[in-house]
Structure 1
Amino acid sequence: MKASHRLLALLVAAIWGVNFVAIELGLRDLPPLVLTALRFVAAAVPLVFLVPRPSARLRYVVAYGLVLGVLKFGALFTALAAGMSAGLASLVLQAQALMSVLLAAAVLGERPARAQVTGVLVGSVGIGLLAIHSGGHASVIGFVLTLFAAASWALANLVMRASDETRPLSLLVWSSLVPPLPLLGLAGVVDGGQAVLDAITGLSWRGVLAVAYVAYVSTLVGFGIWNRLIAQYSIARVAPFSLLVPVFGLSAAWLLLDEPVGPTELAAAATVLAGLALVVRRSTADRNNATDASEGREPEYAPAATA
C-alpha cells in the first residue's frame, strides 16, 4: 500500500474514532434508528443528484445499503442506546478486522500473508486488553448487537470488494437511499410513530450537528476513502487499519468528554500499533518485491494473491 494511502487509512481511523463521541451526543436527542435513518438521508441528498450512478450491478448497491445501513449501523446505534458505552463499542466493533480477513479468504479466495494474520491477531489482543480494562457497564443485548454490527461491517466490506465498483463514492451515495425507509419503519415499530415524528420535528442543534458529522464526515468522507482503498487493495491490507479506531476513540473521549486514559490503555494502544505495523510492513514488502520483479530481479518471496 502506498504511503499516501496509509495516511488516508489513518485519517479514516481518526474520523471514525471521533464518530463515537458524535453518536453519543446525537443519541441524547434522537432514538437510535431515527438517528441512523437521518444519517443516510443526509448522506444521499443532494449528492444523489450530482454524482453518476454506480458502475456495480443494482443488487450490490441494494445489498451494500442494507448490510451497512440497516444491519451494521442500525445494530450499533441501538446497542449504544441500550447501554453499550461508546468507548467499549469502539473496541468490540473492531472485531470486524479479523472477521473481514477470514471472510475474504473463505469467499473471495484472498490469501492473507502470515504477517498480516499475525498483525490482526496482535492488534486484536490490544483491543481485548482495552475492553477488559474498560470496565464499561454494557448490557448483554448491547454487547451482542455490537458484535452483530462488527459481522455486518465485515460483510459490507465483502460486498464492496465483490461489486468491482469503479466509483466508490457513487456506490456510497446511491446505496444511502436504501436504509432510511426500513430504518424509519423499524423505528415506528420500536418507538412508536408519534415518537419518531416528534424526534424529527423537534430536532435540536446538537442533533443537527451530530447528524452532520456522522453523515458527511464519517459516512461520505470516511467510507468514501475506505471503499476506495477496499476496491484497490485486498481486504487483508485495509481492514486492519480499523484497529486504530479505538485508539483515536479513547483519545477523543479524553479530549472532549474528559474520560481518563491510564497506563493500561496506553500499553494496549501500543500493542494495536505493533499489530498494525506488521500489516503495513508486509504491504511495503509486497510492493518492493513487485518492483524488483518488474526490473528483472527475483523477489525474495511471492506476494499474497488477491482477488
Structure 2
Amino acid sequence: MDIPNTTATIPQAPPDFRSGFVAIVGRPNVGKSTLMNQLVGQKIAITSPVAQTTRNRLQGIVTTPTCQMILLDTPGIHKPHHELGRVLVKNAIQAIHSVDLIVFLVDSSATLGRGDQFVVDLLQKSDGPVVVGLNKQDQQPPDQREELNASYETLTEDHGWPCFKFSALTGEGLSDFQSVLETRLEPGPYYYPPDLVTDQPERFIMGELIREQILLLTRQEVPHSVAIAIEKVEETPQRTNVFAAITVERGSQKGIIIGQKGSMLQAIGSAARQQIQKLISGDVYLKLFVKVEPKWRQSRQQLLEFGYRVEE
C-alpha cells in the first residue's frame, strides 16, 4: 500500500483535469467501506457484517489520467447512544457540508426505511450535489427487484438526484458509476501524489485491520466496545514487529477476546497478521495485549486518546 509521503511530488494537472472531494454517506451497513475499497482498487477500509464498522472519516484516493477523486468513507448515520456515537455522527454530518459531491448510498436489497429518510432530511440541508447509489443489486430477490428499486427512485426523483444501480461487492456497474462521479467534479488540481491511495498513516490501517478481525470473529459478543492502539512498530531486516493494545469496557469482554486458553486472541492475531503482511508486503510478528477501560466510549478524554475527535 502507498501511504502518505510528505516529500512526494505533486505534479501539475493536465488541461481539463478534474478533481474533488466526494463523501460516501448513508445509514450503517449499506456498503460504504466496500464501495471505497472497490473504487480505490485495494483494501484500505475495514468491512464486516456488523453495522457501524467505520469510525474514522477515512480518505481514499482514486487517480486516473483525467481525474483525482478523494473519497471520504463516513461512519453510518444513526441515532447515537454514547459519546463515541455522537462524535461519529457529527463527523458524518460534517462531511456532507465540506465536499464537492455527495454519494448517498443505500441498500437496495431492502425497502426504503426510516434510517434512509433521516439521511435524506440531512442531505436536503446541504448545498452540494447528490448522486444516489443503489448498492447490493446482486442481493435483490429477482421477483422484488423492480419494486425495491422503484421505492428509492421515486424518492430521489422528488429531489432531482440521479440514481445509479451497482454492486460494490461484485463490482458490477461500478465502472459506469465511477465515470459518472468523475464527470460531476469540476476542473481542478492534483491534491495528492498520483500513486497515493489513502491519507492515513500505516499504523492507523494496522489498527483497523486488527479491529476488523475482532468484529468478524466475535460478532455480537463484543460489537463496538473495542479500541485499538498500536503501541510500537519495530523494523528489522527480517520482519516488522507490531505491538498493539486492545481496549474493552468490561472484564467479560476481555475474557471473550482472549478465549479459552487464549484461543480467540490467537485466532484474531493470526488473521490480522496475514492482513498486515499484505499491507506492508513483508513478514510481520504481531503481539496483542488486552486491557479494560470501563466506559471509555463515554469519556471525551479517552476518545481523544484513541483518535476519535469531531472533525473541523
TM-score, normalising length from structure 1? 0.25
Q: Compare the two structures and name the one with the higher helix fraction.
A: 1
Which fold has the larger relative contact order, with Cα–Cα distance below 8 Å and residues 6 or more apart in sequence?
1
